Amino acid sequence: MVNNKKLLAWVEEVATLTKPKEIQWVDGSLEENQKLLDLMVEAGSATKLNETEKPGCYLFRSHPSDVARVEGRTYIASKKQEDAGATNNWIDSLEIKETMTKLYNGCMEGRTMYVIPFSMGPIGAPISKIGVEISDSPYVVINMRIMTRMGKVVLDQLSEDSDFIPCLHSIGSPLREGEKDVAWPCAPIESKYITHFPEERMIWSYGSGYGGNALLGKKCLALRIASAQAKDEGWMAEHMLILALTNPEGKTYYVAAAFPSACGKTNLAMMQPTIPGWSVKCVGDDIAWMRIGDDGRLYAVNPEAGFFGVAPGTSMDSNPNAMKAIQKNTIYTNVLLKDNNDVWWEEMGEDAPSHGIDWEGNEWTPASDKKGAHPNARFTAPASQCSVIDENWENPAGVPISAILFGGRRPSTIPLVNEALNWNHGVFMGSATGSETTAANIGAVGVIRRDPFAMLPFCGYNMGDYFNHWINMGEKLGDKAPKIFFVNWFRKDNSGKFIWPGFGENSRVLKYVTERIEGKNLGEETAIGILPKLGDIDVNGLGLSEATVEDLFAIDKEGWLAEITSIEEFYAKIGDRLPARLQAELDKLKDRLTDNGSCGCCGCGK
Ligand code: OXD
Ligand code: MN
């Protein structure tokens, strides 16, 4: 029995505006889920996969225009533009409400309006937040059931007056009397809007049914709205995986790591270390909510309950634990359908089938000039199915973080691993994160862009204020602050080949990180940070020459000076809310690299 006044009034208000055929309060049960899946199979928008190979799995194909997040149509709505800042698409709250209200008018005609109560974070945990998504997409319902804790259990948490974050979503495709539905209804790109109201803690999304545009608990709530809440309430909402690394002596270190979208976070989060005696367990693969615990340390919770991972490139080599986790009860979107009703994608580590149906629903053979799976094809799978899920992944208190990693796809200049000299230098490193763009967003792929803290598309407020929040958190954490490292698995040699093997071999770098945490006398201070010395990272058996290893850590002075120019340009864009302490870090780096401060090449670190 729903008695929350705000919720009841909001549901009625939305129904009056959007005019659905019916309203369904989602309870999250297995039966309800199956009914929705059966309905979608019957309607031709889902394909049930081979029950022997992939029990409980379904395939969906999206509209070709609706295949990824649309950053260009994603907005931060606030009263003042400076509160959204230069890195966000700002829109005036009143103006966008007027525009979107017109779009929402009658937009659910002929469709069912689903009311989806969900919790980001374990139900009832102090850091968790309750949201309610209203959506006219059954695909959203079944995905939210995997990605969040959802349904009656959450509704039961809401008393008459308790608060929640309203998340309104419509695919923007009313089904008028006599009209035939399509497999993936959505609105054209120019009328898609993914709008966040951080001041009101509210989300309005229209026109897209895909991933982060539509599963509003994920990027919209757990990052954009939560980041604004976190700043106000003194915690952090970050685009970070959380992993548990255990050494041969049985000591566990929890590490949080921020990488831009589609840079291998899911692979790292559940990697299989190649070094004997070490193991990795996964707490989360995409988002970390972190607060300072009673002991003064930073504790992280994964607010999600599932993985929404990129399928292409996922294989038994790159991520065996993900491959095992997605064999059952998984939703596949935009992968290739094999003739035996199983799925396939590029770089799956399995020969391409001689024939199949591609992500656009067309006949496909290896001779086709198109890819079988879209590069941003996804799997949605329950985290509980991951055999290396950490025993503390649902601990309401979170896990204590010993190290924070930042990283990106950088073909040159940035070393394999570089430790920050101190917290503020680490914040500087995070703020200067750059990466080649990927297919996770609609737009150009492979272009280097600044993606501070991997939060460029996800920070719900002014980036300068966000940097400042990081500095403030460091002050509160003091000597309990985690150590910060910058890693780059993607450096290339002159022939364009990746130098570092990556994947399970990244455990060699993680081992070094834990040794630094333990204060082992490894590494040396240089102009750019603390770099490992030759021999500090075990590269035995990798077949890398000494010169190649040296290359991985070489300070390319010209490259760094160009990097500094690019950071300066980016900082200029942030404007007057850039914290002076970050400008000072940039100036110090420049001094250390040029003749002003030191020779910049002998590693003296001055
Ligand atoms: C994601 C993304 O889906 O970052 O996690 O785009
Ligand atoms: Mn992500």
Span 287-322, pLDDT tens digits: 999 999 999 999 999 999 999 999 999 999 999 999
440 lines ligand 1 (CB under 6 A): yes
Is 241:247 a contact under the CB 8 Å cutoff? Answer: no
- C-alpha 72 – ligand 2 centre gap (Å): 17
pLDDT of 598? 47
Is 326:59 a contact under the CB 8 Å cutoff? Answer: no
**Nearest-atom index, ligand 1, CA of 454:** 4
Choosing from 57, 107, 220, 263, which is the catalytic residue? Answer: 263
The fraction of the chain above a pLDDT of 70, given in percent, is 98
pLDDT of 41? 98
In this structure, what CATH number is given to the domain that contains residue 459? 3.90.228.20
- C-alpha 261 – ligand 1 centre gap (Å): 5
Q: Is residue 603 part of a domain?
A: no
Q: Is residue 356 part of a domain?
A: yes
446 with 515, same domain? yes
Is residue 19's pLDDT more than 70?
yes
pLDDT of 596? 57
pLDDT of 519? 93
Which tokens in the block code for residue 108?
């659910």
pLDDT of 599? 44
Mutate to test the pocket of ligand 1, among 238, 308, 379 (most ligand atoms within 8 A of CB): 308
Span 455-500, pLDDT tens digits: 999 999 999 999 999 999 999 999 999 999 999 999 988 888 899 9
What 3-state class would DSSP assign to 492?
A: strand
Is residue 15's pLDDT more than 90?
yes
Is residue 595's pLDDT more than 80?
no
User: Whose Cα sits closest to atom 4 in ligand 1?
Assistant: 261
Ligand (nearest to CA of 67): 1
Is residue 433's pLDDT more than 50?
yes
Picking from 385, 408, 432, the residue at the C-terminal end of a domain is 385
186 with 112, same domain? yes
Residue 263 is a catalytic residue: yes
Of residues 565 and 444, more confidence is placed in 565
- C-alpha 329 – ligand 2 centre gap (Å): 22
In this structure, what CATH number is given to the domain that contains residue 91? 3.40.449.10
397 with 344, same domain? no
495 with 421, same domain? yes
pLDDT, mean over the chain: 95
**To which residue do tokens 């199915």 refer?**
385
Is residue 446's pLDDT more than 80?
no
Is residue 440's pLDDT more than 80?
no
pLDDT of 157? 95
202 with 347, same domain? no
The arithmetic mean of pLDDT across residues 557-572, rounded, is 93
397 with 295, same domain? yes
Tell me the C-alpha distance between 254 and 242, whole Å.
7
Domain limits at 315? 307-385
Q: Is residue 355 part of a domain?
A: yes
pLDDT of 137? 98
pLDDT of 91? 98
- C-alpha 212 – ligand 2 centre gap (Å): 9
Closest CA to 174 of 166, 163, 185: 185
Of residues 546 and 294, more confidence is placed in 294
> Which residues are in the CB-under-5-Å shell of ion ligand 2?
261, 286
Tell me the C-alpha distance between 606 and 597, whole Å.
6
Q: Is residue 113 part of a domain?
A: yes
Span 48-61, pLDDT tens digits: 999 999 999 999 99
CA torsion 517-523-524-526 (nearest 10°) is -90
pLDDT of 496? 87
Task: Kindly indicate the confidence band of residue 515, based on its pLDDT and cuts at 50, 70 and 90.
Answer: very high
**Nearest-atom index, ligand 1, CA of 440:** 6
pLDDT of 54? 98
DSSP 8-state symbol, 290: E
261 lines ligand 1 (CB under 6 A): yes
Count how many domains the chain has.
Answer: 3
Picking from 234, 263, 291, the residue at the C-terminal end of a domain is 234
Span 141-164, pLDDT tens digits: 999 999 999 999 999 999 999 999
Q: Is residue 58 part of a domain?
A: no
76 with 86, same domain? yes
Q: Is residue 559 part of a domain?
A: yes
Tell me the C-alpha distance between 532 and 428, whole Å.
20
Picking from 234, 259, 287, the residue at the C-terminal end of a domain is 234
CB atoms within 10 A of CB 250: 8
The arithmetic mean of pLDDT across residues 191-209, rounded, is 98
What 3-state class would DSSP assign to 236?
A: strand
Angle at 593 between CA 589 and CA 597, to 5 degrees: 85
Which tokens in the block code for residue 446?
């492979």
Q: Is residue 599 part of a domain?
A: no
In this structure, what CATH number is given to the domain that contains residue 331? 2.170.8.10
Task: Kindly indicate the confidence band of residue 605, based on its pLDDT and cuts at 50, 70 and 90.
Answer: very low
128 with 213, same domain? yes
The arithmetic mean of pLDDT across residues 376-405, rounded, is 98
Task: Kindly indicate the confidence band of residue 262, based on its pLDDT and cuts at 50, 70 and 90.
Answer: confident
The arithmetic mean of pLDDT across residues 125-153, rounded, is 97
371 with 412, same domain? no
pLDDT of 261? 85
- Classify strands 252-258 and 74-78 as parallel, antiparallel or unpaired: unpaired
372 with 404, same domain? no
286 with 378, same domain? no
Least confident of 10-14, 15-19, 241-245, 555-559: 555-559
217 lines ligand 1 (CB under 6 A): no
Task: Kindly indicate the confidence band of residue 37, based on its pLDDT and cuts at 50, 70 and 90.
Answer: very high
Q: How far is CA 232 from CA 378, 428, 473, in A?
A: 33, 22, 12
Is residue 602's pLDDT more than 70?
no
115 with 191, same domain? yes
- Residue at 245: amino acid letter: L
Q: Is residue 12 part of a domain?
A: yes
The arithmetic mean of pLDDT across residues 354-373, rounded, is 98
